[in-house]
Structures are given as C-alpha cells and as structure tokens.
C-alpha cells in the first residue's frame, strides 16, 4: 500500500470513528436521600450499549455503599446497598455510569443518625426509625409509638419483619392515637381485597386499655373513623385487617366521615398514584375538646375538634422539578357535619405545624435542612393538590 493510500485510509477511519454516535447514558434515582439505617434502593440505568458503574466517596472517607452489579448492557435496574450511618451528620456518595463516550453521575445523601430510641411500656417512647413519614416524638409525654409490620405484629427491623406497614402515636390517657403515619403508593396499596371488617384490638397493646369496638362504635352516635383508610391497604386481607385495630380509630361524626373526609382520603390515593412514595400522617386534635363519646366501648373518649393530614410527595412530577422531586401539603379540617370542599383547608406544612404543635417530616430535615425548610414554608401547588 502506498504512503498516500495509507494516509487516505487513516483519514477515512478517523472520520468514521468521529461519526459514530455516542451512547448517551443516564441514571434515574427513585430518591436522592437515604435513611441512616442500612438498606438498599433501586436506581435505573439508561443506556443503549455496554456500560460500567462505580461508586465514588469524598477523599478521606471510608466506603459505605456498594452496587449489586458494576457492568452491563442496555437499560437495567441496579441496587445501591448502603451501611448504617453511625455519625450525627449526613454523608454523600456518587454513582458514576460510563458508556461509549459519555458519562452520568448521581449523588446520594444519607441522613445522620437520628435521636436514640427510648423504649416504652409496649412501644417506643421515642422511635429511632428515620422513615420520612414519622413526625417528631417527645419522651415522657404519655404517648408511645407502636410500629406494625404487614401482619399486624410488632415491627423490629426490615431483615426480621419485612416491609413496614403503619405506625401510630398512642395516647394512654385518651385511649386514642394522636396520629397514624404510613407510606403509600400503588404497590403498597394493592387492589381487590375489599373491606375485611375485622374490627378488633391491636395485638401490640393490652386489650384492657383499648376501646372495645369489635361489635359497634363508641356510643353516642359516633362512627368508627379510620385514620389509615381500609382502602389504602388492599394488598392482602392480612394487611387490610390491621386497619380495623382500635389504635387506628377515633370517634367521627357520620356526615364528616362519609363527606369531606372520605373525599380527602380518595384524593390522597390519587396523589399517591403518581408518586414513587407518598408519606402520609393522619391525625386528630382534641386538646380543646368539649364533647365526649358514650362509654359503649368501655371508655368515654374525647371527640376531636379537628382532623389533619400532612403529606410528603416523592416522585418525578413536573410540579416538583425544582425541589428534587419533593412536594408537601397540609390539611386541617374542623370536625363538623358538612360536606364542603377539602381544598378550602389546604395549607403549608409550616402553618399546619403551628396549628397542631406537631413537627412533621424531621427525617427530611436531617437529610437536607435547606430543602426541608423551603418545602415546609411553601404554599401547596393548587394544580397538583386539588
């Protein structure tokens, strides 16, 4: 081959290589923020060709996470497994995806260790689980957190108990839960089970300190009002049955229960249907109550003056594009017998906290304080929270 021909071939090969299309790769995280406990989260790899993955940590820090796989081809799902964070401060790790001529990065932030748990009589005086749905708790306030697994028994850890179901903040004096907190999405909700109607005692507490709602309501004309709705746990009859525990009930007026309140519950499921996870806190306010139920259940309990919901959305909605996939909304509705529009009682989480005295979503604050403060102060987007 002549020298001129060799040069021409080299030029053509170089031009051909330059014309080859890069494999544009991307990482899609379900959430950028991690709990302080050891766990694993999925993320999606988007690629058309071969790729490799690696985890990078800030200089001078030890590795605390690993990947379920470090190479592959085409679109795939990978697990980011991480150790517990024993420090009080958050820490970061970056996943690096490399394809043919392109690179993508995604950073995870893990929360610092939460407040140490305090064991109570039957639950936790203060729970150390840093799930996003859990409000702040106060040691010695006469309440304890009861955490349920799917079958209604006591949740211990993910490895021993599987997925968490719901938690409640039981008030020993008032014989009701101040709030019930739980995660919700289409997978967690499930479908097709219907109402088991298995009204009964919570196995995590002695029956003697719970209202007996097995064969009827509290007396005085009040209905048995769910805090975690039966329709939010349709994955199995076992999980649905847990929503009929007395710790999940409060006395509600019939018109309220079947009117404005059920309308809000239906829309909470709508919000959750587009979320990776919607973190829900439902509760009752009774500190200024002037009415009491009958004692048919064995206890005459206070009639709440208001009911609330605090909602934290995590997902890929366009409405949350400027807040890293998060949105918040609060609702505080007077417990009266009317069928008004629940959106009339929509408010920021900051406002809901001032009105209820409850600190919502402290785990997010531990992960990203500035983001949390911005979300709590913002008025809910009326186009989404409608």
290-321 pLDDT, tens digit each: 999 999 999 999 999 999 999 999 999 999 99
Asked if residue 362 and residue 285 are part of one domain, the reply reads: yes
Distance CA 102, CA 279 (A): 36
Query: Is 212 within a domain?
Result: yes
For residue 13, being part of any structural domain is answered with: no
Residue 96: strand pairing partners: 54, 105
CATH number for 250: 3.40.570.10
Residues 206 and 92 reside in one and the same domain:
no
Least Cα distance to 109 among 41, 17, 202 occurs for 41
Euclidean distance between CA atoms 72 and 45, whole angstroms? 9
Report the 10 Å Cβ neighbour count for 82. 22
**Residue pLDDT, tens place only, 190-213:** 999 999 999 999 999 999 999 999
Q: Are residues 94 and 204 in the same domain?
A: no
pTM reported for the whole predicted model: 0.86
- Looking at the fold, whether 143 and 207 belong to one and the same domain comes out as yes
* Main-chain phi, psi angles of 89, to 5 degrees: -105, 155
CATH number of the domain residue 58 falls in: 2.60.40.10
Six-digit token string for 136: 């702040």
In this structure, the number of other CB atoms found within 10 A of the CB of residue 70 comes to 12
Residues 147, 97 within the same domain: no
Whether the CB-CB separation of 265 and 282 falls below 8 Å is answered with: no
Helix (H) / strand (E) containing 33: strand 33-34
Report yes or no on 12 lying in a domain: no
From the list 61, 57, 59, 77, the residue with the least C-alpha distance to 69 is 77
| Cα angle: 224, vertex 228, 233; to 5 degrees | 115
Cα-only R_g, the chain: 25
What is the domain extent for residue 35? 26-110
Q: Which of 110, 142, 164 is the last residue of a domain?
A: 110
Residue with tokens 């409640």: 168
Q: Which residues contact 321 (CB under 8 A, 6 or more apart)?
A: none
Can you tell me the distance from the alpha carbon of 195 to that of 361, in angstroms, rounded to the nearest whole number? 30
Tell me: do 273 and 187 sit in the same domain.
yes
Same domain, 73 and 132: no
Closest CA to 158 of 38, 314, 30: 38
Domain count for the chain, please give it: 2
125 and 105 fall within a common domain: no
- Contact indicator for 86, 113 with CB cutoff of 8 Å: yes
Q: Residues 89, 215: one domain?
A: no
| pLDDT at residue 314, as a whole number | 96
Evaluate whether 106 touches 85 at the Cβ level (below 8 Å). Answer: no
Helix 369-377 crosses helix 349-356 at what angle (to 10 degrees)? 80
Answer yes or no: is 135 within a domain: yes
| Residues 105 and 126 both lie in one domain | no
Asked which of 84, 110, 136 is the last residue of a domain, the reply is 110
Q: Per the domain annotation, does 131 fall within a domain?
A: yes
Give the C-alpha separation, 22 to 26, whole Å. Answer: 13
Asked if residue 382 is part of any domain, the answer here is no
With respect to residue 386, please indicate whether it lies within any of the assigned structural domains.
Answer: no
For residues 90 and 141, membership in a common domain is answered with no
3-state secondary structure 119-178: ECCCCEEECCCCCCCCCCCCCCCCEEEEEEECCCCECCCHHHHCCEEEEEEEECCCCEEE
Of the residues 82, 110, 138, the one at which a domain ends: 110
Strand partners, 326: 314
d(CA 374, CA 27): 26
Please give the Cα distance from 184 to 232 (Å, whole number).
7
Over its length of 386 residues, how does the chain's per-residue pLDDT go in tens digits? 566 656 555 555 555 555 556 789 999 998 888 988 888 999 999 999 999 999 999 999 999 999 999 999 999 999 999 999 999 889 999 999 999 999 999 999 998 888 788 999 999 999 999 899 999 999 999 999 999 999 999 999 888 999 999 999 999 999 999 999 999 999 999 999 999 999 999 999 999 999 999 999 999 999 999 999 999 999 999 999 999 999 999 999 999 999 999 999 999 999 999 999 999 999 999 999 999 999 999 999 999 999 999 999 999 999 999 999 999 999 999 999 876 899 999 999 999 999 999 999 999 998 899 999 999 999 999 999 99
Asked whether residue 103 falls in the same domain as residue 126, the answer is: no
Distance between CA atoms of 244 and 261, rounded to whole angstroms? 17
Q: Is 10 a member of any domain? A: no
What distance, in Å, lies between the first and last C-alpha atoms of the chain? Answer: 74
Q: How many CA atoms lie within 13 A of 15 on its CB side?
A: 6
């Amino acid at each position: 081959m002549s020298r001129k021909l060799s040069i021409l071939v080299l030029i053509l090969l170089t031009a051909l290589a330059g014309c080859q299309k890069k494999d544009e790769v991307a990482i899609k995280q379900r959430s950028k923020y991690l709990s302080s406990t050891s766990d694993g989260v999925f993320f999606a790899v988007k690629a058309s060709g071969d790729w490799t993955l690696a985890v990078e940590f800030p200089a001078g820090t030890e590795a605390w996470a690993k990947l379920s796989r470090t190479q592959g081809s085409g679109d795939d799902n990978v697990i980011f497994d991480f150790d517990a964070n024993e420090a009080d401060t958050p820490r970061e790790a970056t996943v690096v995806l490399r394809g043919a001529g392109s690179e993508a990065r995604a950073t995870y932030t893990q929360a610092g260790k939460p407040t140490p748990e305090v064991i109570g009589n039957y639950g936790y005086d203060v729970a150390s689980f840093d799930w996003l749905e859990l409000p702040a708790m106060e040691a010695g306030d006469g309440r304890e957190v009861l955490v349920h697994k799917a079958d209604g028994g006591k949740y211990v850890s993910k490895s021993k108990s599987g997925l968490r179901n719901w938690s409640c903040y039981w008030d020993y004096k008032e014989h009701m839960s101040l709030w019930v907190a739980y995660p919700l999405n289409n997978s967690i909700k499930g479908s097709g089970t219907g109402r088991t109607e298995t009204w009964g005692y919570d196995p995590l507490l002695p029956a003697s300190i719970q209202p007996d709602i097995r064969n009827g309501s509290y007396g005085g004309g009040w209905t048995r009002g769910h805090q975690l709705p039966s329709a939010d746990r349709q994955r199995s009859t076992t999980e649905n049955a847990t929503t009929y525990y007395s710790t999940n009930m409060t006395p509600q007026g019939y018109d309220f229960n079947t009117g404005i309140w059920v309308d809000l519950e239906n829309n909470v499921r709508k919000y959750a249907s587009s979320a990776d996870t919607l973190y829900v806190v439902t509760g009752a306010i009774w500190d200024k109550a002037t009415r009491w139920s009958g004692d048919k259940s064995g206890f005459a309990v206070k009639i709440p003056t208001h009911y609330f919901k605090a909602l934290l959305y995590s997902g890929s909605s366009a409405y949350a594009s400027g807040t890293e996939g998060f949105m918040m909304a609060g609702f505080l509705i007077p417990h009266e017998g009317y069928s008004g529009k629940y959106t009339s009682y929509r408010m920021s989480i900051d406002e809901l906290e001032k009105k209820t005295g409850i600190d919502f979503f402290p785990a997010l604050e531990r992960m990203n304080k500035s983001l949390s403060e911005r979300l709590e102060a913002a008025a809910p987007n009326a186009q989404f929270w409608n």
